[in-house]
Copies of this chain bind each other. A is one copy, B any other.
Amino acid sequence: MDRAVAIFSGGMDSSSLVYMLKQDYGELIMLSFDYGQRHKKEITSAKKLAGYLEENPTGAYTEHRVVNLRTITSMLKGSALTDDVDVPDGHYSEEAARITVVPNRNMIMLGVATAVAVAEEADALYTGVHAGDHFIYPDCRPEFMHHINLAAQAGNESFAKRGFRIEAPFLHMEKSEIAKVGARYGVPWEDTWSCYKGGAIHCGTCPTCVERQEAFYIAGVTDKTKYADAEYWKTVTTVPGVR
């Protein structure tokens, strides 16, 4: 039976990914990483959505695991995602990225997820990285994905299932296109989590909240998510026709 492993953060992109994969595979193992992120609500979201998928009898048999990376990331200081640095408002920028980045995070997560995929004899490992992340995060770019896939294949030769590969089906999509995919597969957006600030509800003003609201607007997808400030993104967006 076809088996996939997917990295699942509980955000828009990876939620769309696992809802899609549930229809494509016989078995699906979803991995969430606890790296001490301040927006730990994304793990709560991941658990909630994983519960929906597990209860749903159609499509893949699903399983959800949370991987504890805190002992590792506690060594790696200087990131607003894990430390007490303020998360900036507005759009992503080089400066914002520098303080919101955990160094080499994708390689670490893909390394662990590849190990799980090899041990489980999975056909493929999926990640929801996408085009919108490229200019900020170098480990979401096609060049990185190309080499890490070849490294994973070379490094597990004769141990991994034949034909094993790392897939990033959203790599060349915009976030609004992913929103359309997720909507098609019935992702309950209000149960996903994107906000970097980790409050009770989405702040609406941090870079990822701005990007999220733009994506739904462009895609024409209904979003029932509650935002502390649901109007701010319209004052900073460059999407035509909003302002």
Chain A interface (Cβ within 8 Å of chain B)?
Answer: 65, 67-72, 75-78, 98, 101-108, 110-112, 114-116, 118-119, 138-139, 141, 143-144, 147-148, 150-152, 154-159
Contacts and interface: CB of A to CB of B under 8 A. Distances in A.
Residue of A103, A139, A158 ringed by the most chain B CB atoms within 10 A: A103
A69 B67 contact: no
A242 B43 CA distance: 59
Nearest to A106: B155
A151 B159 contact: no
A72 B103 contact: no
Given A104-B114, A111-B107, A119 B156 contact: no
Tallying the copies of this chain within the complex gives: 2
22 contacts: A67-B75, A68-B71, A69-B72, A70-B71, A77-B119, A103-B114, A103-B115, A104-B114, A104-B152, A104-B156, A105-B115, A107-B107, A107-B110, A107-B115, A107-B155, A139-B155, A139-B156, A144-B155, A147-B147, A148-B148, A148-B151, A151-B151
Contact of A103 (B102, B119, B157): B119
Given A76-B115, A78-B119, A138-B159, A152 B107 contact: yes
Contact of A119 (B70, B71, B76): B76
B102 A115 contact: yes
A104 B118 contact: yes
A154 to B, nearest CB: 4
Nearest to A140: B155
Contacts of A152: 104, 107
Contact of A147 (B70, B108, B154, B159): B154
Contacts of A116: 75-76, 103
Contacts of A155: 104, 106-107, 138-139, 141, 144, 148
